[in-house]
Each structure stands twice: as C-alpha cells, then as structure tokens.
C-alpha cells in the first residue's frame, strides 16, 4: 500500500501567535527576536509584512530595523508557543498516532492507516488546515506525498494556508526544477560543493550517479541522491515510541545568538546537566556524546564521539561536547541553537571503571546526586554552577520545560 505522509508547517508561527494575542500588532511588520537593546539579538521569526521588506530569519535586529524602520520587535514567548504546538499536535492526534514533531512548528504525520476513515491525503490535509485556522486562529501549510522528504518540500512550496501534493507521477515536474538548496538538509556548505561540480537543481542531484556524489559528499551524497529520486523510506515516529529509550538529549534555541566559546560553554553546561539528570533518573549511562549545532543562517551539523567510559555526569558530558564543538566549528557565523545528546546507552555501573578513576567518579556522582535532590525539593535554579550565575544564557531549564527540538532524519544516518 502506498504511504500517505503529510508535513505540516505552521506559517510564521511565532509572529502569528504574537499577532493573535496582541491585536495592536496586526497589519504591521512584526519580528520576534531577543531584546532589541541587546547587541547580538537576532530575528527568530517574522510575519509576511516584515518579510516583504527584505527581513530574513537569523539576521541581526539592528539590520532588520535598517530595512524596516517601523518594524515592531517583540521578545519570544516560548511557553506560549509550546502551548500552541501542543494544541496543534492534539488536532493531528485525531487523525493518526504516527506524528513526528520537527521543532515546535512542524510535524510529519503518517495517515496511511486513516484514509478509509477521513478520505485521501489532500482531504485530510485540507480538514486539518481548516481546523487549525478555526480552532487556533493561525494558518498552516501542508505537503502531501509518499515520503517524508517530498512532504516537507511540499509544505514549503505554497504559503500561507495551502495544501501541495507531490506524487510519484508528478515529482519530476514539481521537484526536479527546484534549486538544490530546497532539498532538506542541503545547507550552505553542501550547496557550495554541489555548485562546484555543476549541480544546481534537485534534478541535477537525481540524475547524477550516487558514486559521483560520494566522491565529494561522502555517504551523505548517496542519501541526497535517494531523497532527490523519491526513494526515502524513513518512517514517521509514532507517538510513544520515544519511551523506547536509545538516547537522551535536549536542544534549545537560545535567547540571543552565541558569538564565542564562552557563550557556547554556558549553554552546553545547561543542556549537559539536563541530559545527565535524565540519564541518572533512568539508571542509564551514555557511551557516546553527540552535539547538534545550528548557525544563524540555519546551517546545521551533528557530530558524535565515543567516550572512554560510560557516563551520566554533567561535567564529563559538557567536556566531551565542548571538545567536539571546538574540533568542528570555526566561527564563520554566530550560533542560533545547540543540542547535546547521550547515545549508546547502557545500565548505570554496568562497566567496571579503572581503579584510579573509581574514587573520583564516586565523589562526582555523590555531588550530582546531591544536586538532583536539592533541585527536586527547591527547584532547578536552587543550585547553579558559578559560571552560570548572572548569565542571560543560563536561564533555561530544558529538563522541566522540555522545550526540545527533535533531530530528524540526518541524526539517524
């Protein structure tokens, strides 16, 4: 049976929610970003009126103000966006239990098993669009296709409030003429490498040989060839499958863009403490530490490194993550979001540490267990590392807020 996959993308999500709750912003150019007085504040989202003036997501607020002097800048309200995200997922759940979030504003839905109840893919997409508009007051664009990659591409083609269908019969006409960078996971660096080899469109990728793409993109070249030819068969993760714990991770979009190693270290400490605490709660240790980095132009990458010994200690996870970061990032652009993940999990204390490490590990575990106890009684911010005090980047509690930006297909490759 042919799969029916939807990709739902809430239009200008942050800005749309702000305009919904603040009528004075309607019919005005609006950008959601950090405090406009901050030196490094960036545009996290904008509405269509702001977009029409040339404002781009990820650019500095002062640059946005130069393009549009009348721009209304509002600080992000992530608890409100998270609430709306949960409400939209409640609507999705009325049609399928196979829903895979991709950030707060996007999700894949596998409705293959629901078509006999609600109609074909486009009918389900249109019904979801109308419900979100009527019940929540925001709009959504939905792509309908036979795989996740083309469904995602479809949701990007028509905005706002539209349904786009990409089928096996029409994808060569619809998808192949598009620029290569429109394909999911083709960022600036990959686009540049493709262009250097005369590849400008998705069709160029599709008609190249996978062996040729491998010569300059490695294994990822073959993955892009699979995507471009409509051969992606990655599943939509069913709600509840995350209970089958294979990794523990958190990521966050920071209150402002990160401009140096000190900024990054603070955020990685916050995320590492969250990951470590969740590992300890589950009686688990991670054999591998992974980082996810995304810059202000939304170029992202994932790197991982196996550790000498399994760990659930925040300091060790932080140090491993920072080593990965320093080895793989050259500060061409400021950073917008970071993630830390513990992978290849084993039961805690299942492996014998060396004699010399045993005493030190025992001391560190006692300290972190004591911190867990104090935070459970008095709240997360009752105990903080000295390096996180009085920092605008440390006022994040990803463990309790659970503001997680899930890693998609690429992390599984």
Where do we find the tokens 């996740």?
148
Say if residues 29 and 135 touch (Cβ distance below 8 Å): no
Give the Cα separation of 96 and 71 in Å (integer). Answer: 40
Where do we find the tokens 């805690």?
348
Helix, strand or coil, per DSSP, at residue 288: strand
Q: Which of 106, 285, 290, 368 is catalytic?
A: 106
Give the Cα separation of 87 and 17 in Å (integer). Answer: 12
Give the Cα separation of 314 and 250 in Å (integer). Answer: 13
Say if residues 226 and 232 touch (Cβ distance below 8 Å): yes
Q: Which of 314, 311, 303, 305 is nearest to 346 (CA)?
A: 311
Active site (annotated) includes residue 106? yes
DSSP code for 409 = G
Number of other CB atoms surrounding residue 350 within 10 Å = 10
Q: Residues 110-147, buried b or exposed e (16+ Cβ, 10 A)?
A: bbbebbeeeeebeebbeebbebbeeebebbbbbbbbbb
How many residues make up the chain in this entry?
Answer: 413
Catalytic residue numbers read 106
């Amino acid at each position: 049976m042919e799969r029916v996959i939807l990709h739902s993308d809430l239009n200008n999500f942050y800005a749309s929610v702000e305009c919904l709750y603040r009528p004075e912003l309607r019919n005005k150019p609006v950008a959601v970003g950090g405090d406009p007085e901050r030196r490094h504040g960036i545009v996290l989202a904008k509405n269509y009126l702001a977009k029409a003036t040339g404002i781009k997501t990820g650019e500095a607020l002062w640059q946005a103000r130069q393009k549009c002097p009348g721009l209304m800048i509002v600080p992000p309200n992530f608890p409100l966006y998270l609430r709306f995200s949960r409400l939209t997922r409640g609507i999705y759940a009325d049609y399928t239990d196979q829903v895979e979030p991709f950030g707060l504003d996007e999700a894949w839905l596998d409705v293959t098993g629901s078509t006999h109840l609600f109609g074909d893919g486009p009918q389900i997409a249109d019904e979801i669009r109308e419900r979100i508009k009527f019940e929540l007051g925001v709009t959504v664009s939905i792509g309908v296709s036979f795989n996740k990659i083309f469904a995602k591409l479809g949701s990007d083609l028509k905005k706002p409030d539209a349904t786009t269908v990409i089928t096996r019969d029409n994808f060569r006409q619809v998808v192949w003429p598009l620029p290569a960078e429109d394909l999911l996971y083709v960022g600036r660096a990959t686009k540049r490498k493709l262009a250097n080899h005369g590849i400008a469109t998705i069709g160029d990728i599709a008609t190249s040989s996978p062996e040729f793409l491998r010569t300059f993109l490695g294994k990822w070249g073959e993955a892009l060839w699979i995507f471009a030819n409509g051969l992606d068969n990655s599943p939509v993760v069913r709600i509840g499958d995350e209970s089958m714990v294979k990794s523990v991770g958190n990521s966050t979009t920071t209150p402002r863009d990160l401009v140096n190693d000190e900024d990054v270290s603070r955020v990685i400490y916050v995320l590492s403490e969250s990951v470590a605490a969740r590992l300890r709660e589950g009686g688990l240790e991670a054999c591998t530490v992974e980082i996810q980095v995304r810059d202000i132009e939304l170029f992202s990458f994932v790197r991982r490194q196996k550790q000498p010994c399994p760990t659930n200690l925040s300091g060790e996870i932080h140090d491993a993550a920072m080593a990965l970061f320093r080895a793989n990032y050259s500060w061409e652009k400021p950073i917008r979001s970071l993630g830390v993940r513990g992978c290849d999990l084993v039961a805690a204390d299942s492996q014998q540490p060396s004699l010399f490490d045993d005493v030190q590990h025992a001391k560190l575990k006692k300290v972190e267990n004591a911190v867990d106890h104090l935070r459970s009684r008095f709240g997360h911010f009752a105990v903080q590392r000295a390096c996180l005090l009085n920092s605008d980047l440390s006022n994040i509690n990803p463990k309790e807020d659970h503001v997680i930006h899930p890693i998609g297909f690429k992390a599984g490759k």
